[in-house]
Amino acid sequence: MKVLVVDRFSELADEFQAFCKKSDLKIFRDLEIDYAKDTNIFRMQTFEEYVQKMEDEGPEWTTPDEEVLNKIKDADVLLIQWGAISSKVIDAAENLKVIVTIRSGYENINIEYAKNRGIKVSFAPSRLAEVVADMTVALALSECRGIVRRNLIATKGEWVEEKYNDASHAAISNLVVGIVGYGGIARTVAKRFTKGFGSRVIAYEKITSPSILKEDSVEQVELPELLKTADIITMHARLCPETKHMIGADEFAMMKKNAIFINTARAGLVDERALIRALDSGQIRGAGLDVYEKEPLPYDSPLLKMDNVTLMPHSAGITNDILKNSLKIIVTEIERFLNGEPLKFQV
């Protein structure tokens, strides 16, 4: 059984190889593992440009590397991260049975084409849950307490003691947290606030079973009620045609004046122009953002001139241990495949 790893760097292949060598399971130790370099990212000006184009258009605009086309011919399993898997790549695969990505998204795979070829596709939906939850809480704390704007480096040593004169300058335990969407990352965020801070948490969710929210001590509400009630509103919905710009001018108008808006999910969930107007006019108190309509964030963005935002460079999911953590999730999927069992995270 051959596994081909396609990525811009060899670290994923090296980590998977090391795992297989140490595994107690013979099915992993017996795998033939090969690596092929995907250079599509290096043909773009920045990694962010590549990611944005991939999320907007999928992989069909990419040019397959000859090494990828040659090595995929006899591969049974394809393991990737940001490797571009277009129809041309899939056509070159003669034995491919499953594509496994360590990402929580799969925009870089032509899903429908793979399915039409009878190739299964699996992903790691909650691989970023812990680290993104950490960043979400950090942004909320920063905005509630003015950590970025009031720290002595930012004020050049001036001892700024004024307090925000609204309800969000408070202990997190006294604030209502509203979560939009309730998948794996959202559940982890909710636990941070309910168990860590003792906050009341409400959520707007259309897919996840109500029993799961109840188990997590989270109230399920409709979106208008959440927007009107929550002091901190954090986005964790999956981006799709139905959720694109689900938060716009009308939704910001429903929020409290002291509302703090957090987005560590996808920029497309929010009408960025409406968000900028809401922040500029004081319609909402502030925002903590890690994702933007255009990345890197343009130097002329109005957000960079505001004093009621905390802005991060799309780094919520970037930590030194993310590759190892992702592999922990996805090797269980590969094990299921090797044992002939149904995949748990099949697209």
Catalytic residue positions, numbered = 266, 295, 314
**Residue corresponding to tokens 């992993």:** 28
Q: Is the dihedral of CA 62, 66, 67, 68 positive or negative?
A: positive
C-alpha to C-alpha distance for 4 and 89, rounded to whole angstroms: 12
Q: Is the dihedral of CA 121, 318, 320, 34 positive or negative?
A: positive
Residue 303 dihedral angles phi and psi, to the nearest 5°? -60, -35
* Closest to 186 measured CA to CA, from 175, 194, 198, 174: 194
DSSP single-letter state for residue 42: G
* Closest to 255 measured CA to CA, from 276, 221, 219, 230: 230
CB 238 within 8 A of CB 182: no
DSSP helix/strand/coil, 334: helix
Q: What residues contact 172, with CB distance under 8 A and at least 6 apart?
A: 140, 141, 144, 193, 197, 199
CB 121 within 8 A of CB 99: yes
CB 102 within 8 A of CB 310: no
CB 201 within 8 A of CB 214: no
* Closest to 255 measured CA to CA, from 293, 302, 223: 223
Annotate 319-335 with b (16+ C-beta within 10 A) or e (fewer).
Answer: beeebebbbebbbebbe
Residue 210 exposed, middle or buried by CB count within 10 Å (0-12, 13-18, 19+):
exposed
